[in-house]
Amino acid sequence: MKNNMKVLAMLLFGAMGLNSCDSSENGSSSERVATTEVEEAVVQAPEFNPDSAYFFVDRQVAFGPRVPNTAEHYKTGEWLIETLRGYGAEVQVQAFQAKAFDGTMLNLRNIIGTINPNATKRVLLAAHWDTRPFADKDDKDQNKPIEGANDGGSGVGVLLEIARTIQAAEQKPGIGIDIIFFDGEDYGRPDNSDHPYMQDDWCLGSQYWSKNKHTPNYKANYGILLDMVGAENAKFAREGTSMQYARNIVDKVWRAGNRIGYSDYFKYVNAPAITDDHYYVNTVGGIRMIDIIEYNMANQDDYFGHYHHRHTDTMDIISKNTLKAVGQTVLHVLYNE
C-alpha cells in the first residue's frame, strides 16, 4: 500500500523592505524565488518483529561460541542454511579454507540466501556469523571464546527476521535481495599478540567472497552490512569507510531511520573508518556497501561498547528495541526501492 506523505512547501517571497537583492553588472537583480520541498511518497513496510529477532539471536548463542573448526560452529551453520531455506530463500554455500594469523587453517563457509532471484535490481544484506575465539579485551579468561550475542549474533538475527518477514508479507519488495552470512570475520590478530602482524587477517569470508562471488558477474545496486546492532541504547554513527565509498547510501538509510522514529539510534555524527566486511566488498568486490555498526563517539573508553570482545557479550546486553530500530529501518529502505 502506498501512502502519500504530507507535502511541505516553503514559499519565500521577494517583498519591498524585506528582501535583499544581488545586483549584476547590467543593473538587473535576482530575487529569492519560491521553493517547494516535497517528501516522496513511501511504501509502508511490514512490521519487523523484535521478539522473533531476539529468538534468532538467542538460538545462535545457545549453540555456544561459533568459532571456526568447532562442532558449535558447524551446527550453527547447518541451522542457518535450514532456516534460510525455510523462509523461501535459494541457498548457496561457499566452503573454503583460509589461514589465520597464527597459522591455523580454518574451515569456513559463507552462507548466501537469495530472494527473488530473477530481479535485476538487487540489494545485498550481510552480517558475520562467526564469533571471536578469545576475549582479548577482557581482564580474565582472555584465551576463552566469547558468546558473541551482539558481535555476530545480532546482525544475523536481524537478517533472519527480515527474511521471515518478507516471506510472510502479502506485499513483497520490488527488488531482489541477497543475504550473506560471512564467516571468519572475527579471527583477527589480537593487539597484544606475540604473532607478527599479518595484513588482511580479519574478515576472511568477505575477502573470499569478494574475489569469488557466488554467482558469476554478480552485481548489486548497493549493500548494507550489520555488525553489533543489538545492544541496549546503541548509537550508530556514520562510519568513515561507508561515507567514503557509499555516502548516498548512508544518507538514504539514516534518513529512513530518522523518518520512521529512530533518531536516537541513527545519529548524524561522523566516525572514523574501520576495517569490517564492507571494506573488502567495496574495495575488492566493487559493490558499494555501508556498515551499520555500533560506534558511540561519546564512549571514549570503548567506542564499540564495554562488551566488545569480552565475556559480557551475552544475551543480557541485547535489546529488542535496538533490534527493532535496525530491522524496521532496513525493511523500510528495501520496500521503498
Judging by beta carbons within 10 Å of its beta carbon (0-12, 13-18, 19+), is residue 337 exposed, middle or buried? middle
pLDDT tens digits for 98-116? 999 999 999 999 999 999 9
**pTM of this prediction?**
0.88
Q: What domains, with CATH codes, occur in the chain?
A: 45-335 (3.40.630.10)
pLDDT band at 297 (very low <50, low <70, confident <90, very high): confident
Of 6-20, 141-155, 296-310, which one has max mean pLDDT?
A: 141-155
Q: How many Å apart are CA 298 and CA 203, to the nearest integer?
A: 27
> Which pLDDT band, with edges at 50, 70 and 90, does 192 fall under?
confident
335: left (phi over 0), alpha (psi -120 to 50) or beta: alpha
Q: How many other CB atoms sit within 10 Å of the CB of residue 78?
A: 13
247 has a pLDDT exceeding 50: yes
User: Residue 40: its pLDDT value, please?
Assistant: 61
For the cut 90, the answer to whether the pLDDT of residue 182 exceeds it is yes
Q: Does residue 84 contact residue 163 with C-beta atoms inside 8 Å?
A: yes
For residue 323, what pLDDT is reported? Answer: 99
Assess whether pLDDT exceeds 60 at residue 307: yes
Count of CB atoms situated within 10 Å of the CB of 149: 25
Q: Which three cell numbers stand for residue 4?
A: 502519500
| pLDDT at site 28 | 34
pLDDT tens digits, 134-167: 999 999 999 999 999 999 999 999 999 999 999 9
Instruction: Tell me the one-letter amino acid at 48.
Output: F
CB of 130 within 8 A of CB of 183?
yes
pLDDT tens profile 16-64: 333 333 333 333 333 333 333 344 668 999 999 999 999 999 999 999 9
